[in-house]
Amino acid sequence: MNELKGKVAVVTGGASGIGLATVEAFLEKGCKVVLSDYDVESGEKHVDRLKDKGEVIFIKADVSKEEEVESLVNEAVEKFGSLDIIFNNAGIGAQGETHELSYEDYSKVIKINQDGVFFGSKHAVRKMRENGGGVVINTASILGVVGEPTAFAYNASKGAVVMMTKSLALQYAKDNIRCAAIAPGYVETGMVNREALGEYYDNLVDKHPIGRLGQPEEIAHAAVFIAENEFVTGITLLVDGGYTAL
């Protein structure tokens, strides 16, 4: 098992939901954590709240911009001396009829969900090769594995993440770098809850045989498992309450 105490972890999209839960989970394991997000106010607020739990800093980054992701990785290494884990988690959702989808809206989803994984992986791997290894964890989705009629751009981006993960795992195994993805089902967050979704909430629950939506902490636990287990690489770990078993 990979001992996480003292390891340096970067989490993108770390100011809310799955990302924030994973920041907290890595801190509990004794990691030094960089919480990165586009939302400066929320990011700094959570870092201030979590400081008594371990070494944690905030670095702003828009993952759709390569120069900002490169700067994020470089700053993390400058602050903590190395980079052992990156969780490419930042992402956005989008729904709508494909024939009415603008290229601008399509491109925004691809730039954040897909390009963000490329930029994070590219620059993290450069540092990890220098350090003798590391772990790249990507947030995919159940919609990277199964289709959704009104999620064309999101399906495209998350399906790409699944295959990018396999490619990275094969390329860099020789460098002691592991890469795996997590494919969550629908998870209770600020955007996915009964108040926000109304009657559609129950429809989502019905798609999960386990009878409920996931919790951010359950996805964070999967990220910790991937980081710790040295025989795990190239997989997409479904944490979906049975959604894709239907």
Active-site residues: which are they?
154
Rounded to an integer, what distance in angstroms lies between the CA atom of residue 229 and that of residue 2?
6
Query: The tokens 């494919």 sit on which residue?
Result: 183
Distances (CA, A) of 160 to 6, 111, 132, 199: 32, 12, 27, 31
CB-neighbour burial class of residue 209 (10 A; exposed 0-12, middle 13-18, buried 19+): exposed
For residue 199, give the 3-state DSSP assignment: coil
Alpha helical stretches, state H, 7-65: 17-28, 40-50
C-beta separation of 228 from 178 below 8 A:
no
Q: Which two tokens stand for residue 2?
A: 């990979």
Q: Which two tokens stand for residue 87?
A: 């969780």
Query: Residue 106 carries which side chain, given as an amino acid letter?
Result: Y
Rounded to an integer, what distance in angstroms lies between the CA atom of residue 238 and that of residue 101?
28
Rounded to an integer, what distance in angstroms lies between the CA atom of residue 80 and that of residue 140?
28
